[in-house]
Amino acid sequence: MKSTGTRVPSTRYRLKNCRICGSARIKQFLSLHYMPIPNGFVPKKDIKKKEFHFPLKVCVCTDCWLVQLTHVIPAEIMFRNYLYIPSTSTTVVAHFREMADHIIKNFNVKRKDLVIDIGSNDGTLLSNFQKKNIPVLGVDPAENIARQANKNGIRTLCTFFTEEKAQKIAQEYGKAKIITATNVIAHIQDLHDVMKGIALLLQDNGIFVMEAPYLADLVERNEFDTIYHEHLSYFSVHPLEVLFHQHGLKIIDIQKQSIHGGSLRVFVAKQSADYTVHPRVEKFLIEEKAKNLQNIKTYDDFALRVKKVKRDLLQFLRKIRKEGKTIIGYGAAAKGNVLLNYCDISTDLLDYIVDSIPYKQGKYTPGTHIPIYPESKIVKAMPDYTLILAWNFADEIIRKNQEYVQKGGRFIIPVPYLKIV
Ligand code: DWN
């Protein structure tokens, strides 16, 4: 039963021009309808309060081929009190450790070099540099999480990263040898302002390393639930090249990463810097053409597959529910909230959701108002089925719930296609 969210008029926040190239030739190819912000978890006391639902639709620029949301919800609404902590996942902690080691080794980072992380969250990534006595500085607008990072000993400025802020950082802390940004560039409306800031804050031989979910994986694996209000852009290499070239920057290397359903790790230097461009960069560009990422039909076909994923999941859940089976969710993830709201799945199908993050336990999911409990509940209650909403961590979740499996519990994985484990 759909929660009665208050719909914000679709004329508000509407995108007029492509965020990278400014073109007005942007074509919508998928609507996930109206939805609350994906990390807007609801405390019990507010369950009856008005909840704003915003249009969630995605379009593609037919000039630079950046896939992006048609409506841009102000960052202030989404990020001032943010409920995403990467360090609860061993997968993410290990991923950041490998990333820091790779950067230190390949770019000869020394103890005098400054490393800045944009969207540094709780400092998980920076802690790996700090352990090697490399000076670090985090930048993150979420007051609650920046406070936690500073308590953890990771020097963090609580602010959005802008060109103006970059000037002040350069004056106060000096220029950076390394600037990182993981799962944050896709969240930014004014990419040009941020790129100007990065270009002026980087040392002449500095490296900017960004990580973001990869559009090719999203499309090929039907990862529609990673489309949400926080993610304004869905990157492929071609539009990124257009963006960086506008700011005197160049991509010198790219690595595929499995995290978050398939991501790109992009290494960027100043065009004037003495780095050769790895042949892998050209290979990605050729592959994207071969995958028809610059052809509108690819996106229309994707939209049809999304509707099939929804149909198959609902059919299965309703069937086992009718057989009297008990079903819960696992991982109160932002992507999970997109899937639940798009498929209109509430307590009529899922009794509750278990999650590892204390911030989220005891709260309710936005829009669908499903209660969230600690993970320990799953083995005590032994539901027949568990729908893994945080499917990007399915291996880690199944690995840590072997007792549930041995006692006959079964996992449901919704994307890329319905799978019962
Ligand atoms: O871009 C973003 C991606 C990288 O992460 C951010 N905008 C927000 C966030 O998206 P998300 O909310 O989908 O995050 P996760 O990390 O996919 O969500 C995982 C959820 O699952 C968390 O709430 C923690 C929970 N979890 C759990 O309960 N047990 C996770 C693991 C690994 C577990 O074992």
Is 6:52 a contact under the CB 8 Å cutoff? yes
* 4 pLDDT above the threshold of 70: no
Unique residue bearing structure tokens 């592959």: 287
Q: How far apart are CA 237 and CA 216, in angstroms?
A: 10
Q: Which residues line ligand 1 (CB under 6 A)?
A: 84, 88-89, 183, 230, 260, 331-335, 355-357, 360, 375, 390, 392-393, 396-397, 400
Q: Would strands 52-61 and 6-7 be described as parallel, antiparallel, or unpaired? A: parallel
* 21-78 residue pLDDT tens: 999 999 999 999 999 999 899 999 999 998 999 999 999 999 999 999 999 988 777 7
Q: What would you report as the CA-atom Rg of the chain, rounded to the nearest whole angstrom? A: 21
Ligand 1 atom at minimum distance from 354 CA? 28
| Cα 236 to Cα 254: distance, rounded to the nearest angstrom | 11
Residues across the chain: 421
pLDDT of residue 80: 58
Cα 1 from chain centroid (whole Å): 27
* The predicted structure's pLDDT at residue 395: 95
| 6-10, 19-23, 46-50, 289-293: the lowest-pLDDT one | 6-10
Q: In what order do the strands lie in the sheet with 136-139?
A: 156-157, 136-139, 115-118, 176-182, 202-213, 263-270, 249-257
CA of 332 to the centre of ligand 1 (A): 7
Strand partners, 410: 385
User: Is pLDDT at 386 greater than 90 in this prediction?
Assistant: yes
Give the integer Cα–Cα distance in Å for 289 and 295.
Answer: 9
Q: Which amino acid is at 27?
A: K
Compute, in angstroms, the gap from residue 351 CA to the centroid of ligand 1.
20
How buried is residue 178: exposed, middle or buried, by Cβ count under 10 Å (0-12/13-18/19+)? buried
**Average pLDDT of the residues in 266-281:** 98
pLDDT band at residue 15, thresholds of 50, 70 and 90?
Answer: very high
Q: 1 pLDDT exceeds 80?
A: no
Q: Please compute the mean of the pLDDT values over residues 274-290 and round it to a whole number.
A: 98
Residue nearest to atom 10 of ligand 1 (CA): 334
CA 20 – CA 247 distance, rounded (Å): 11
Residue type, 414: P
Q: How far is the CA of 390 from the centre of ligand 1 (A)?
A: 6
What's the pLDDT score for residue 309? 97
Check pLDDT > 60 for residue 206. yes
Distance 324 CA to ligand 1 centre (A): 30
- Binning the chain into helix, strand and coil, the percentages to the nearest 5 are 35, 25, 40
* Whole-number percent of the chain with pLDDT over 70: 97
Per-residue pLDDT at 20 exceeds 80:
yes
pLDDT greater than 90 at residue 11: no
Please state, in angstroms and rounded to a whole number, the distance separating the CA atoms of residues 404 and 50: 37
CB 173 within 8 A of CB 138: no
Helix or strand run (H / E) with residue 181: strand 176-182
Best mutation site among 265, 356, 364, 415 for ligand 1, i.e. most ligand atoms within 8 A of its Cβ?
Answer: 356
As beta bridge partners, residue 156 has 138
pLDDT score of 166 more than 90: yes
Supply the pLDDT for residue 8.
81
Query: Is 421:313 a contact under the CB 8 Å cutoff?
Result: no
Nearest to 349 by CA among 321, 390, 322: 321
Mean pLDDT of the chain: 95
Asked whether the beta carbons of 99 and 127 are under 8 A apart, the reply is: no
Give residue 399's pLDDT band: very low, low, confident or very high (50, 70, 90): very high
- For residue 55, whether the previous peptide bond is cis, meaning omega lies within 30 degrees of 0, is no
Give 274 Cα–ligand 1 centroid separation in angstroms: 38
Beta carbons within 8 Å of 78's beta carbon, 6+ residues apart: 37, 39, 229, 230
421, 398 Cβ separation under 8 angstroms? yes
Mean pLDDT of 85-113: 91
Give the model confidence (pLDDT) of 292-325 as tens digits. Answer: 999 999 999 999 999 999 999 999 999 999 999 9
Provide φ and ψ at 79, rounded to 5°. Answer: -115, 5
Instruction: Identify the pLDDT of residue 381.
Output: 98
pLDDT level of residue 7 (50, 70, 90 thresholds): confident
pLDDT bin (cut points 50, 70, 90) of residue 348 is very high
Reply yes or no on whether the pLDDT at 406 is more than 50. yes
- Ligand 1, atom 26: nearest CA belongs to which residue? 331
Give CA–CA dist 334/84, Å, rounded: 9
pLDDT band (50, 70, 90) for residue 339: very high
Which residue type sits at 190?
D
Q: Which of 17-26, 48-57, 204-213, 323-332 is the least confident region?
A: 48-57
127-163 confidence digits (pLDDT tens): 999 999 999 999 998 888 899 999 999 999 999 999 9
Q: Which among 371, 296, 301, 339 is positioned nearest to 33, based on CA atoms?
A: 339
Q: Tell me the pairing of strands 176-182 and 115-118.
A: parallel
Average pLDDT (340-350) is 97
3-state secondary structure of 194: helix
420 Cα: distance to centroid of ligand 1 (angstroms): 21
Q: How far is the CA of 16 from the centre of ligand 1 (A)?
A: 31
The whole-number pLDDT of residue 196 equals 98
